[in-house]
Chains A and B, each alone.
With several copies, the nearest count.
Chain A
Amino acid sequence: MDFSFSAEEEKFKQEVQELFISEEELSKAAKKEWNTGLGFGPNCWKILQKIGERGWLCPTWPKEYGGLGLSYMYRYIVVEQMHHFVDIYTTVGAGMAGPIILSHGTDEQKNKYLPPIARGEVEFVLGYTEPQAGSDLAALSIKAEDKGDYYLINGSKLFNTRAHYSQYHWLGARTAVIKPKYKGISLFIVDLKNTPGITISPIWSVGGTRTNEIFYDNVKIPKDSLVGEANRGFYYILEALDYERISTVAGLERDFKELVEYVKEKRKAGDPIIRQKLGGLAAEIESARLFALKVAWMLDNGRVPNYEAAMLKMKVAETEQNLVNTAMQIFGPYGQVQKGCRWAQFDGQFERFYRDSLENLITRGTSEIMRNIIAQRGLGMPRR
């Protein structure tokens, strides 16, 4: 057992850190942009490209597609540092769409999409959720009809968070009406900038984050938009979960550390109740960090972290809730005022976080779905 990075990993981590430190202004500006809730702005694109041009955005990919052929632990290290310095975890292209293109795409698709993803030049917006298909992804109903020369798409997608700045829609659509429903789903890449019939309509979250509804009205997309085989989309999505599972609590660690410093500065360090709360949080964050490391290590060792990843997802989301809640409790009445107000602590950062963190309880599977997975896959309890 060994909880340290190897010398090479440590060296790599230093390099990544050095990039962000040498680009301190840019990192800060990107983080600020990201935290407006509007997604990638110019500084985000710029820092992504700086990460991408070094091959760090997709370090596990083959070099020919812009990666470095390294192990998952290197991806973990990048994600950790990105999260720490700019709060952006990863891109959908690098974390979700890309891996599926890499495994199931045509050579043409690989050549077309993967290098720009790896360079941080393009982004994909995830298009899985629909009003009636949330946790139950297989229930999605947007239709993609094979019309011989093209696919005809009709329907709509909810919570397409990155739509307003992404180049591509990573679309899950129904290509067959069949039971079980998950056997009729296919994946498509839709060019959002150059396809007529698509409407992107903003929705705002309680955290002030912009997400979008995307409407398809008789939209024609070329046949080569299909990724992999038709009707195999659901399997691809499940497969890709592995890659997606790389996660980190680096942002939480950073915020927690700031909170501890704040408590010292505001002379509340002697309050036994605050001490208990922060002491407990430290242990919780550390255990979540170890869960994250374990998942990365498992991937590197060819093991499938299905229940471990569920535990990680649940624990990170709940630890985040404990962190924001503890911070707000420490601020007392000063916690309620917002960014820009002279009484706001941390310029209202935790006030926004208090709202915005709710989303993490729900996206990528609620804690309840995670508990199902832990019980059924991890503990072998019966499925209904």
Chain B
Amino acid sequence: MDFDLSESQNMLLDTAKKFLEKEAKGLARQVEKTDAGYSPELWQKIAELGWIGLVFPEQYGGIEGTFQDLVLLVEEMGKAVFPGPFTTTAISGLSILDHGNSSQKDAFIPALTDGELIISPALIKPDPLMNESIVHDQASMKNGKYLLSGTRLFVPFGHVAGRFIYEADTDKGKTLFLIDAGNPGIRCLPLDSIAGDKPCEVVLEGVEVSEEDIIGTPGKAEKIIKQINTRGALLESAYICGMLEQVLKMTVEYANEREQFGDKIGALQCIQHQCADMATDTDQVKFLTYEAAWKLSKGLPADKEVSMAKSWASDASRRVCLLGVKIHGGTGVMEEHDMQIYFRKAKAEELAFGDGDFHREIVATQLGL
């Protein structure tokens, strides 16, 4: 049993804290009004720091960290609400590493760890009840090439991705493709969202893709997608964990400074108890996330643990941020204060890779129900 970080994890987080403190302060606020929605300049810097390559082998420009290291780094990013396609690029790269062939690995992972290539999973199919006018899924063969059409939603940073991970139902069954975002049949539309984090609508119309762009065995997409979703859910939990730690910190600081009725509001029992509840909720997210990360890193089955973490994180994200807003009072709802950024981001992270109800349902299944 060890709840401490390793030497190298401490070093990684030390650097991360310093870097984020120096470079990323106020970044979330700045970039959400830009078209990119993130800072390409800082993206290069974190590539140089080895963050994008954190979990990849040296031969591909990585530094061979564990998935647990990645979780810890993402937690730090969450504290700073660091914007960008970091987690989704990392898990996309891991899919190529785990399931791609060697030429795919050679072609894409070094570009990814260098910060040159952003890969985004484009896996969420629209519910036609929400909007009927969509390009429906089609996959046919022509001259040995696949012709793919379809609509995918909420593709993270799709507008700056070089490649999409895309699933199509081909003659061989559900098959995963790594599609060049520059393909002329693709349209990508960033959507305005509560978190200002550029989820995209990606539309394929008759996009020609060759067999070489298939990841893994044709017809076997589902297992890889599940892995992507599991990793994604856990990294979101870590990001939420960081956010909530920061919200708690900000809130306690505010309460310990703010005076009303001749006393610090932090001396009020109701404020203290709300902060205690925020702390407990946050620690629950943290430990559940850490345990799931440890299991994933060890290669142990972790579906249940990941879903426990994400279900708690999703619900705690709203609970904790709402208390944060309330304790900040009028200040907390002002655009100029950071509190509201966390509140808005929390909604996006709550939803990403499945909300609380969704993951509790998975836990139930994992319990054998």
A residues contacting B by CB (< 8 A) are 1-6, 9, 73, 129, 132, 134-136, 139, 158-159, 203-207, 260, 263-264, 266-267, 269, 272-276, 278-280, 282-284, 286-287, 290-291, 293-294, 296-298, 301, 307, 311, 314-315, 321, 325, 328-329, 332-343, 345, 351, 354-355, 358-359, 361-363, 366-368, 370-372, 374-376, 378-382, 384
B299 contacts across to A, CB distance below 8 A: none
Q: Is B276's CB under 8 angstroms from A340's CB?
A: no
Partner of A290, one of B291, B355, B359: B291
Given known pairs A136-B261, A158-B330, A354-B347, the reply for A275 and B291 (CB within 8 Å) is no
Complex CA gap A343/B153 in Å reads: 9
Given known pairs A206-B340, A206-B344, A381-B252, the reply for A336 and B193 (CB within 8 Å) is yes
A328 contacts across to B, CB distance below 8 A: 347
B58: CB under 8 A from chain A? Answer: no
For chain A, what secondary structure do more than half of its interface residues adopt (helix, strand, loop), or is it mixed? Answer: helix
Residue in B closest to A352 when the chains form the complex, CB atoms:
B194
Given known pairs A333-B351, A335-B347, A375-B275, the reply for A134 and B330 (CB within 8 Å) is yes
Can you list 8 residue pairs at the A/B interface with Cβ under 8 Å?
Answer: A9-B1, A136-B261, A203-B335, A335-B351, A336-B193, A336-B348, A381-B256, A382-B267
Given known pairs A206-B343, A278-B369, A328-B347, the reply for A362 and B333 (CB within 8 Å) is yes
Partner of A338, one of B5, B194, B252: B194
B369 contacts across to A, CB distance below 8 A: 260, 263-264, 269, 274-275, 278
Given known pairs A343-B131, A345-B130, the reply for A4 and B1 (CB within 8 Å) is yes
Q: Is B334's CB under 8 angstroms from A203's CB?
A: yes
B86 to chain A, nearest CB (A): 19
Closest 6 A/B residue pairs (Cβ): A279-B360, A375-B272, A206-B340, A279-B363, A275-B364, A283-B308
Q: Is B334's CB under 8 angstroms from A136's CB?
A: no
B332 contacts across to A, CB distance below 8 A: 358, 362
B28 to chain A, nearest CB (A): 14
Complex CA gap A173/B191 in Å reads: 46
8 Å CB interface, B145-197 against A: 153-154, 191-195
8 Å CB interface, B264-321 against A: 264, 266-273, 275-277, 279-280, 283-284, 287-288, 290-291, 293-295, 304-305, 307-309, 311-312, 318
Complex CA gap A116/B317 in Å reads: 47
Given known pairs A3-B1, A260-B369, A325-B318, the reply for A337 and B364 (CB within 8 Å) is no
Residue in A closest to B260 when the chains form the complex, CB atoms:
A136
Q: Is A343's CB under 8 angstroms from B201's CB?
A: yes
Task: Give 7 A-B pairs besides A336-B193, A363-B330, A375-B275 with Cβ atoms closer than 8 angstroms.
Answer: A1-B290, A280-B363, A298-B3, A328-B347, A329-B357, A336-B154, A368-B326
Complex CA gap A376/B275 in Å reads: 10
B2: CB under 8 A from chain A? Answer: yes
Complex CA gap A351/B127 in Å reads: 19
Given known pairs A263-B369, A361-B325, the reply for A311 and B330 (CB within 8 Å) is no
B252 contacts across to A, CB distance below 8 A: 379-381
Partner of B312, one of A263, A283, A366: A283
B322: CB under 8 A from chain A? Answer: yes
Complex CA gap A236/B58 in Å reads: 55
Which of B256, B275, B293, B322 has the largest number of chain A CB atoms within 10 A? B275
B362: CB under 8 A from chain A? Answer: yes
A368 contacts across to B, CB distance below 8 A: 268, 270-271, 273, 326
Residue in A closest to B287 when the chains form the complex, CB atoms:
A290
Partner of A315, one of B280, B305, B347: B280
B211: CB under 8 A from chain A? Answer: no
Residue in B closest to A159 when the chains form the complex, CB atoms:
B330
B144: CB under 8 A from chain A? Answer: no
Residue in A closest to B340 when the chains form the complex, CB atoms:
A206
Q: Is B130's CB under 8 angstroms from A266's CB?
A: yes
Q: Is B255's CB under 8 angstroms from A333's CB?
A: no
Q: Is A273's CB under 8 angstroms from B308's CB?
A: no
Query: Scoring B residues 327 to 369 as 1 if CB is less than 8 Å from chain A, else 0, what string do you get?
Result: 0011011111000100110011001000101011111100111
Q: Is B275's CB under 8 angstroms from A279's CB?
A: no
Residue in B closest to A295 when the chains form the complex, CB atoms:
B3
Q: Is B357's CB under 8 angstroms from A276's CB?
A: yes
Complex CA gap A374/B282 in Å reads: 13
Partner of A1, one of B4, B153, B308: B4
Partner of A384, one of B68, B267, B280: B267
Query: Scoring B residues 6 to 29 as 1 if CB is less than 8 Å from chain A, else 0, what string do you get?
Result: 100100000000000000000000
Given known pairs A260-B367, A291-B287, the reply for A337 and B192 (CB within 8 Å) is yes
A296 contacts across to B, CB distance below 8 A: 1
B360 contacts across to A, CB distance below 8 A: 275-276, 279-280, 283
B106: CB under 8 A from chain A? Answer: no
Partner of B368, one of A264, A341, A345, A371: A264
A275 contacts across to B, CB distance below 8 A: 360-361, 364, 369
B336 contacts across to A, CB distance below 8 A: 203-204
Given known pairs A134-B330, A206-B334, the reply for A378 and B276 (CB within 8 Å) is yes
A227 to chain B, nearest CB (A): 25
Partner of B288, one of A207, A283, A336: A283
Residue in A closest to B129 when the chains form the complex, CB atoms:
A266
Q: Is A1's CB under 8 angstroms from B294's CB?
A: yes
Given known pairs A358-B325, A381-B267, the reply for A2 and B193 (CB within 8 Å) is no
Partner of A372, one of B126, B269, B307: B269
Q: Is B334's CB under 8 angstroms from A282's CB?
A: no
Q: Is A366's CB under 8 angstroms from B334's CB?
A: no
Q: Is A329's CB under 8 angstroms from B194's CB?
A: no
A351 contacts across to B, CB distance below 8 A: 194
Residue in B closest to A363 when the chains form the complex, CB atoms:
B330
A335 contacts across to B, CB distance below 8 A: 194, 347, 351
A293 contacts across to B, CB distance below 8 A: 1, 3
B338 to chain A, nearest CB (A): 11
Which of B3, B195, B318 has the largest number of chain A CB atoms within 10 A? B3
B277 contacts across to A, CB distance below 8 A: 371
Q: Is A376's CB under 8 angstroms from B272's CB?
A: yes
Q: Is B1's CB under 8 angstroms from A260's CB?
A: no
B330 contacts across to A, CB distance below 8 A: 129, 134, 158-159, 362-363
Q: Is B5's CB under 8 angstroms from A1's CB?
A: yes
A128 to chain B, nearest CB (A): 11
B94: CB under 8 A from chain A? Answer: no
B98 contacts across to A, CB distance below 8 A: none
B199: CB under 8 A from chain A? Answer: yes
Q: Is B5's CB under 8 angstroms from A287's CB?
A: no
Q: Is A367's CB under 8 angstroms from B267's CB?
A: no
Q: Is A366's CB under 8 angstroms from B326's CB?
A: yes
